Each structure stands twice: as C-alpha cells, then as structure tokens.
Structure 1
Amino acid sequence: MTPTRPRAAATGLASAALAIALTTTGCGGGAKSGGGGESTNSKDQSQSAPLSWKTCAAPTPAQGGGKAPGKEWECTRLSVPLDYAKPDGEHIELALIRAKATDRAHRIGSLVFNFGGPGGSGVATLPSFADDYRNLRTRYDLVSFDPRGVGESAGVRCQGDKELDAAAQLDATPDTPEEVKITLAQNKAYVDACAHNSGKLLPYVDTASAARDMDRVRAALGDARLNYFGISYGTELGGVYAHLFPKNVGRTVLDAVVDPTQDPLQGDLGQTKGFQLALDDYEKDCAGSCPAQDRITELLRRLDAKPLPTHQQGRRLTQDEAVNGIAAALYSKDTWKYLTAGLKEAIDRGTGDTLLLLYDSLAGRSPDGHYSNLQAANRAISCADEQQRYTVDDVNARLPEFRAASPVFGESAAWSLLSCTGWPVPGKFRTPEVSAPGAAPILVIGNTGDPATPIAGAAKMAEKLGKGVGVRLTVQGEGHGTYGVNACATKAVDGHLLDGKVPADGTTCS
C-alpha cells in the first residue's frame, strides 16, 4: 500500500505540529541461505582491520539528513565483500555508529540494533531513540549500522527527488486500461533507473548477505557472540542470522515480528488486515470524535478523481498519499491524534497538509524536499530476496480479496504487488529460512494490535526458530513495537539482555 511495498523501515518526521517516529513493513523475507551453522572462524568472517572510531558527522541526505548526534556518538566504517562467494574480490564499506556503555566496569559487550525497513538507516536512527535504550546502555555499547544498499553503506540509487515527487502524483490504484498502462510505465521507469544507477549492487543487497555482514560486525567489535535487538524487518534479518550462525547467537530480542512463512502476497494481505484492525481500534478509541470510516472511504473516492490542495508549493494530496498517511499514523497510539487532525482537515476544510506530512514520513521525504534512499533500498532488498514476480492478472484476480480485507487499504496493497515486476535480478527465496537449532534462546515479541506485523508472525517465527530457541512473549496492546511502550515487555527485554533471564515461553503482558 506504500510507495514501495515496505516490509519495515524506521524513519522520522518533524514539523511545527508533528514529531513522530514510524516503522513500515510488509510481507516478510530473509534470504534463501545455503544451510545453517557457519563457523565463527570461517575465513570470510575473520579478516577485518581494527575499527577506527571518530566523532560522527551529521546524517547525509541518503540517511535522511538532520543534525550531528553529539560527542557521545562515534562512527566508523567496516569493509566487507560485495559478493560473499568471492570474499577476496571487490569490497564495500558499511557505516557504523556506537555510544559506549556508561558502566564500563560491568560492560557485557556490544548490542547491535536493526530498526527495520528494509531501508532504514541505523546510523541516523539509533541516536534518535537513545533515551529509550538508556537502561541497556549502562552495560552495553549501543551499536547500529546502515545495512548494505542503505544510506551510506553503498546505498542504492534509483530516481531523484523531482521524479519521486512526480511519481507520487500518479494514480497508484488504476481503474481503467489506460491507467494500468501508466502504472506499468512508471514502474518500468523506476526499475530502469535502479538498474542504470545501481545495477552492480542489485544482486548483492539480499538479507543473507546482510546477515553475513552482521557477523563481520560482531567479529570487528570483538564479541564472541552477537547480542542483537531487531525490530520489524530487523526480526527477519535476525532470524536469518540465527539460521546462518546459530553458534554465534548471543542475547537476542526480536520485537514486532515478520512472519517468515508468508510469501509476498500472503504478507501484503495479512498486513492489509492488520492495518484495518488498527483503524477499527482507532475508531473505537476516539468514540465518535473522529471521522467515521464511511467518511474516510468517501474522502479516498473523491481523492481518486481530484487530489486536495496543500500549502506545499506544487504538491497536492493524492489518494495513495492519503492512504499511506493514514497508515503512517496507525503505527503508534501516540500518533492517532495526528490522524484525527489530518482527516478532519481533509474532510472538513478540503486541505491535505497533515496527511501529506504523514505520507512524507513513510516515504523518507524530508521537509526540504529531499528523499533518503529508503524507497530505493526497500525495493532493492525486497526484490533481491523474493523470487515472486506478480502480474496485472494476478492483481486483478486477488483484488476482491484485498478489498474485502479493507476498504481503505486493500486496493493500494494489492497493486503494490507489482513492485518487483521486471526487476533486473532474480530473487533468492520463496520464504526465508530461519531455523536455528542449537542457538541460544531468542525472545520473540508480538503485539496484538500491531498493524504492520500482525501478531501471528511472532508465533510463526518462534516455531520456525525451533524448540528451545524461539521464546514467545505476547503483548496485549496497540502499535508497532513494544519496548519502551509496554512496561511488562520492557522489563522482560531488560531482564533477558542485562541479566540473561528468559521469560517462560507463552508469557502474556497486558
């Protein structure tokens, strides 16, 4: 339903009236790995020069821009093979960031974060959420990175700012044969731009390669095992890592879990139902003080014919931007108030500024009009992973099912299945392999009201990780992610990461 078909990305948006942190996701995928149990001591995991840390500069436009994170943050780069089948061949550099543990005498090691996407810059994101993790920082160096293809780690480049703005004005839910032709032409233009600007990278930005990168990061940090906190798509990356390197798994938390058993179509449909559930819960919570869903669907019908004006020069709010703006606000209960404001503004005053700001947060567009490489990386990683390539006939055949799942999100989600159509390199898997026999226990957390990674995904991930490995914790709440939001879940995570205490499998937090 989103501009690319995201599986989980952490992005930020700041304006005079709005400050939110959001995560997007869609149908899951890791990578078809060639079998588990790779050794810590294998040649391609051990050859790396010592890291040289220095004070961080401000995030680049590709990372999303913003201010330098401050003197407590250090940055560095790590060289890794472009193609792990040729470890002595061409290399790329990964961008890393860290803040050292405050209690050095009781330091456990490093805790590596991936905040989702695929496509979210860990270098830009981690400092933004540092306060949430201050308890963990007492005994861990907090570390994150831009995965390959993302931000400053050989970031994929496709279309530029003006092209992306123009594409956002097109109808993303075609109703006529002519509109279908326009949709296919725009998709081809985007794919061709990716191939032209980043063709050499596209075969190598898959999740299995990113997991191998993480083991390089682990070794370079000097840790015998990887202590890891994965959120949204980061849970899939963590699952693939555990499959590839079960003996190297340290204390690990997967929060807002991608379902590793679903193909892209199943994942998109599940996410559609998840966002509809979240919208229903939002409507119940506002108890008549927000526009009813029939008014929302009427707004979207009118936007399909005539976008709304905004105060951003040359920009109008289209139907698809409104759908994605609504979705953006459903990621956290804290942002439901912005959804109410945006809907009332659009329905009652006929302007689309707030919903457009929400859309921009999801698309990685900054207030100055520059896009991060979120969309490009998201699509490149998704399409490097997923073998499935859908057609217009596939979409038309499933449209009734998507519409039934959600009158608000269904059509947009169905048409987003075309994202990898015509992609210049094949995908590597049908569903990711995450089985990790012999790995240390992994805490797997699902939230009952999660719109982007529905609760069923946590159960499937725990099951696929294997008996004694996947430890499931269920949170009865709203929003995408639980740490720092639900006190019970936060306590369980801290107990696991700081003290090595694993809650009983099947524990529920209300």
Structure 2
Amino acid sequence: MARFARCAALVATALLMAGCSGSSGDDDKSGDGSGPSASKPTVTTPGLPASLTSQKLDWNRCKATATGPAPGGEWRCATLRTPVDWAKPAGETMGLALIRSESSGSSGERVGSLLFNFGGPGGSGVDYLPPYGPTFAKLHERYDLVSWDPRGVAASEGVRCRGDKEIEAAEAVDTTPDTAAEQSTYLKDAVDFGKGCRKSAGKLMEHVSTTDTARDMDLMRHVLGDERLHYFGISYGTELGGVYAHLFPGRVGRLVLDAVVDPSAGMVGHAKNQAKGFQRALEDYLKAAGQNPEEGSRKIVDLLERIDAEPLPTSSGRVLTQQLALTGIVYPLYSKSSWPALTSALEAAQSGDGTELLVQADGYNDRDPSGRYGTTTHSQRVISCLDDKERPTAEEAKRLLPEFRKISPVFGESMGWDTAGWCHDWPVPGQFENPEVSAPGAEPILVVGNTGDPATPYEGARKMADELGKGVGVHLTWKGEGHGAYGSGSDCVDDTVDEYLLDGKVPDDNKVCAS
C-alpha cells in the first residue's frame, strides 16, 4: 500500500547509493543575510513561553534505535520540547529527537547549524544523517550537521499503524483491483490501516502537518542559536523547506532543495508526476540496456499481468505479488548504480523466480530478514493524509485510469488506484490543496533538479523556483539519473552547492551541469 511519492527516506537515495499553507505573519525581516555568527543575537520567536524559547539542549551520547546501533564518534543526541498544538503554544508539549555533529573547522570559520531533512515524509533524520557524514565532510568544516525525527516519526512519538504480521498479510491485497470483491478488499484494508494509525497516534494525528514541522524547525533554529535557518532538504524535504520559507521568509539563510517536489500539485497531480517520472526513468534504463523502451515496457506489463494472475514463488517461501513486483522494479530506479540488479531481477522473474524482485521490494519496504518492518510508511501516510485535502473516490479513480495508463503503461494503473486508496475514509480531514511556498523578501534559495529523477520529476524544480518568487528561487539543472543530484558524481553540482552553502555564492539562475 505504500505510495511511491515523496518517499526518498524509504530508499537508498543517490547520496547513499553511489498542503501546507499558513499565515506568513510570523516572519521577521531583520538581518543582512550573511549568515549567523557567535556575536549576533538570534531572531526570537514571538508568542512562545520562555520555557520553550530559553530551553537548553542537553547533548549526550546517542542511544541505539529500533533500526540500528547508536552512532559513535562525534555524534550527540538531545531532545527539543515543542508545542503539540501550535495554535496553543503555551499548552501541552512533546519531545523531538535531535542529532548533531559539531563543526570540524575552527570556530572563526563556523557559519552555523545546517539542518537536514531526507524526505518521506516520515524519514528519521537521527538514523539517516550519520551515514551521510562522509558525503557532507566539506560542509562539516563550517557547519554543525543537525537533523531530527519530525513529529510523529521514529523517536519523536513515531506512529505504528499495524504490526509486522498484519503488514505481511496486507501484501496479498491487490492494489490494482479487477473485480468488485478485490476493490472492496483494497478499500477495507485502507480503512483498517487508518484506524490503526488513529489508535497509535491519538490526538497527535491532527498535529503532524508539514506546517507544524516547519514551525518546529524555526523553534529549533532559535534554540540552536542561529539568526537564520540554513537547511538542506531532499525530496519531501524540499516541500518542507518551501513551506518554511513561506512562513518565515525573513529567517531564511542558505537553503538547498534537491530532488524537488512539485508544490503546485495535489494528490492526483503528485500521482501523475510519479507515474511520469518512473516511466521516464524506466525507459532510460531500458535504453541503456539496449532495449527498445516501448517493447521493454510492454514485456514488463505482460510480466506484471502474469504475476497478478499467479504470484511467483521465491526462495523464502513467500510469494511475489504484483504490487511487490512493482515495488521491486521501482526501488533500483532510484539510482543508476542499481540498474544491473534490476536487469538480473527481471530476468529471473521472466523465468518464474520472484526472489530477486522480492529482495528489492523488501529493501524499499524496510523489511529486515527477520520479518520486522520499519514504520516510515506509517508516518508518511499520517503526515501526507493530514496535508492533502484531496480525497478521490474509487469511481473517480476509475475514470482517471485511462489517463494514468497513457502516462505510464507500467506504473499508471497502480498510481491511479492509489489516489483512491491512500487516504480512503481517513480519520482526520486533510488541510490543504497544495503547499504554499511563495517567499517574497527571502534570501536566494538554491533549487536543484535532476532530469532523470524518477520519484520527483525534473519539472517540479522549475515550478518550485517559480513559486518561491523572482529573485528567491534559483534553478540549477543536472543532466543525470537517479533520485537527487548532490553527491551523485557531478563535480559541477557538488561545487555549486558547496560554494553556495559555504561562501554564500549564488549561481546564475538556470545554470546547467551536464556531468
């Protein structure tokens, strides 16, 4: 049932593998845009009690998480208190798990804190940042590297909507129903999932929106002692960064948005974008493999139809369903380095063995060999269904299917049905049609688009740059493959981003990196 959209945190992104509008009345346009230094006062957050604005973070050795051992070395963890309900800032609070590694350079060279969000929504920054450390070594010389588990995620009161056995059982649900009985089962499973989320999250389910998290980020900025927010957002993290810029344009420091979500799209628009992006990436893969894209796509469609009729056996004793096969195809498309694994898995599946595609699907679904599943998709669904106001019915989804099939013969059917199933009969109403990211008066924000990005198609970067506003959104293009550009092998991209973050050098708008 996991939607592919905005799900970078679930997958090994390129970095590792080589509704949110609101009042902008909170912004403060003080400061000169040069970045914080130890001698400058921080911009305060008005309206918050001193118990929040004056809190001191207690940085200690990190503890092991459910997904792995505690990071060692220079990494330290702390808890930030933030309001559960931002409409009642003096009311009940909750804890957000933070992780930090202090700048490795001299104190005089330090720019400030650099916050990271790796996508999802639902990705654990506490888990994901330490493995990225080598990728950000140059930035680390002048920045404290900081990330966090957003509200409703992992160590920050993370949501778990169903148990491992229930998740595995749901893998048998047909997500492209062909009969009335299959449709009924599909929608019932969606309702059951939502009920499980409500039971787990309780009233927090109404307070995990992107806007809530953007406000958490501003409190985080203040408590960390920074005048302005310096930020690196990937995939969904770009949407979060855009919403922050809209709410607090005067507090924007140096923001990089990489693998950009289209801010003009609602639920159906995101699904169409995803279908287009994955089909484009698949065709690039087929061309590189020496195949005709149209013929190669048709062979894969035929394979998926056979699997739909009769799931494939695997060496584990589990079976490969159509949805798992689709997921197993999607996962290697996130990085060009994984294309050979996709070739091997497809060849095995064509011969009747679903083992390799199941391994790929398990990687995407965060399933370990013992059968335990991660909860990123749970948090993702809770957050996105609170953000997204659009709620297409099953009949509306059926009417959309021809258009989805035209966009992508391989992924269109699944993505079309997903518009009805993802937030079907959700316990909490959605808040927005699409996120508001306009940020008049903000400092220039670097928006990086990759022409071959499967999960957040290239066109979204141009739309984000345009919606941020003239003189704010600065568009950088990389002619590459995979999800995300920075750290993916392009010296041009890496140098441009580094110069912007380290020295404040803003590149020309529409700069193109061909390698």
The bucket for the TM-score relative to the shorter chain is over 0.9
- Alpha-carbon distance, 1:182 to partner: 0.8
Quote how far apart the aligned CAs of 1:37 are.
4.3
Alignment partners' CA distance in 1, 2:255 and 2:492: 17
CA distance in 2, matches of 1:410, 1:44: 46
Task: Report the alpha carbon displacement of residue 48 of structure 1 after superposing the two structures with TM.
Answer: 4.3
- How much has 1:11 moved relative to structure 2? 3.1
Structure 2 counterpart SS, 1:376: helix
Rounded to whole Å, the distance in 1 between the matches of 2:69 and 2:291 is 40
Structure 2 counterpart of 1:151: 154
Shift of 1:12: 5.3
Q: Which residue number in structure 1 is paired with residue 270 of structure 2? A: 267
- Separation in 2, partners of 1:251, 1:134: 18
Indicate the residue corresponding to 2:363 in structure 1: 361
What 5-or-longer segments of structure 1 have no aligned partner? 23-29
Q: Distance in 2 between matches of 1:367 and 1:163?
A: 16
**Which residue of structure 2 aligns with residue 190 of structure 1?**
193
Deviation at 1:212, TM superposition (A): 0.3
Q: What displacement does 1:451 show?
A: 0.9
Alpha-carbon distance in structure 2 between the residues aligned to 1:38 and 1:242: 9
1:11 equivalenced with 2:17 (yes/no): no
Tell me if the contact between 1:275 and 1:409 (Cα under 8 Å) persists in the aligned partners. yes
1:102 aligned partner: 104
Contact 1:10 1:21 in 2 (8 A): no
DSSP 3-state at the match of 2:230:
strand
Contact 1:259 1:460 in 2 (8 A): yes
Which residue of the partner structure matches residue 27 of structure 1?
none
Counterparts of residues 336-415 of structure 1 (less than 5 Å): 336-348=339-351, 350-415=352-417
- Pair 13,66 (structure 1): closer, same or farther in 2 beyond 3 Å: farther
Comparing 379-388 with 356-365, which one deviates more in the overlay? Answer: 356-365
Question: Does structure 1 retain, via aligned residues, the 8 Å contact 2:5–2:455?
Answer: no
Which whole-Å CA distance do the structure 1 matches of 2:371 and 2:143 have between them? 37
Q: 1:492 maps to which residue?
A: 496
SS in 1 for 2:430: coil
Alpha-carbon separation, structure 2, partners of 1:311 and 1:3 = 24
Q: Secondary structure at the match of 1:163?
A: helix
Q: Secondary structure at the match of 1:337?
A: helix
Q: Which runs of 4+ in 1 moved over 6 A?
A: none
- Give, in angstroms, the shift of residue 80 of structure 1: 0.5
Kept after mapping to 1: 8 A contact 2:83/2:93: yes
Q: Does 2:42 match 1:38?
A: no
Alignment equivalent of 2:446, drawn from 437, 443, 448: 443
Task: Determine the structure 2 residue equivalent to 1:55.
Answer: 61
Cα distance change on mapping 1:20 and 1:126 into 2, 3 Å: closer
SS of the residue 1:429 aligns to:
coil
Contact map agreement 1:171 1:183 (CA 8 A) in 2: yes
Structure 1 counterpart of 2:223, which letter?
A
* Equivalent position SS for 1:44: coil
Q: Secondary structure at the match of 2:71?
A: coil
Matched, 1:323 2:322: no
User: Could you tell me how far apart the structure 1 residues matched to 2:106 and 2:326 are?
Assistant: 47
Contact 1:5 1:417 in 2 (8 A): no
Q: Structure 1, residues 147-184: CA drift from partner, whole Å, max 9, x if none?
A: 11111111112111110111012111000111111111
Q: Secondary structure at the match of 2:271?
A: helix
Post-superposition offset of 1:476: 0.9
What pairs up with 1:212-291 in 2 under 5 angstroms? Answer: 212-288=215-291
Letter of the aligned partner of 2:456 in structure 1? T
* 1:274-304 per-position Cα deviation (integer Å, ceiling 9, x unaligned): 1101000000111149993332112101110
> Which piece of structure 1 moves more, 130-139 or 38-47?
38-47
Distance 2:213 2:64 in 1: 24
- Residue deviations 1:214-251 (CA, integer Å, cap 9, x gap): 01111111111110000000000000000111111111
- 1:305 & 1:211 partners in 2: Cα distance? 45
Q: Which residue of 1 aligns with 2:309?
A: 305
Deviation at 1:509, TM superposition (A): 0.6
1:128 aligns with 2:134: no
Cα displacement (A) at 1:410: 0.6
CA drift of 1:376 comes to 0.9
Q: Tell me the equivalent position of 2:38.
A: none
Q: TM-score, normalised by structure 2?
A: 0.92
* Alpha-carbon distance between aligned partners in 2 of 1:293 and 1:432, rounded to the nearest angstrom: 34
Aligned residue for 2:463?
A: 460
Distance between the aligned counterparts of 1:379 and 1:425, measured in 2? 12
Query: How has the CA–CA distance of structure 1 residues 101 and 50 changed in structure 2, closer, same or farther, with 3 Å as cutoff?
Result: same
SS at match of 2:10: strand
1:104-147 per-residue CA deviation (whole Å, 9 max, x = no partner) reads 33111110000000011111011111111111111111111111
- The residue matched to 1:359 in structure 2 has which SS? helix
Q: Mean alpha-carbon deviation: is it higher for 194-203 or for 244-253?
A: 194-203
Secondary structure of residue in 2 paired with 1:123: helix
Deviations 1:396-434 (A, max 9, x none): 000001111111101110111121121111111101110
2:501 and 2:228 mapped to 1: Cα distance? 13
Structure 1 residue 58, shift from structure 2 partner: 2.0
Alignment of 1:423-434 (within 5 A): 423-434=426-437
- The answer to whether the 8 Å contact 1:387/1:427 transfers is yes
1:91 matched residue in structure 2: 93
> Does the 8 Å contact 1:11/1:125 carry over to 2?
no
| Gap regions ≥5 residues in structure 2 | 29-43
Instruction: Provide the C-alpha distance between the structure 2 equivalents of 1:379 and 1:436, rounded to a whole number of angstroms.
Output: 27
* Cα distance in 1, alignment partners of residues 250 and 474 from structure 2: 17
Pairwise CA distance, 1:351: 1.8
Residues 1:471 and 2:474 aligned together: yes
Checking the alignment, whether the CA contact within 8 Å between 2:16 and 2:132 is kept in structure 1 is no
SS at match of 1:467: coil
- For 2:366 and 2:384, locate their aligned partners in 1 and report how far apart those are by CA, in whole Å: 17
The CA RMSD over aligned residues, in Å, is 1.9
Counterpart check, 1:416 vs 2:418: yes
1:493 is displaced (CA, Å) by: 0.3
How far apart, in 2, do the equivalents of 1:101 and 1:270 lie? Answer: 38
Match of 2:507 in 1: 503
SS in 2 for 1:440: coil
Counterpart selection for 1:205 from 208, 212, 229: 208
Secondary structure in 1 aligned to 2:447?
A: strand
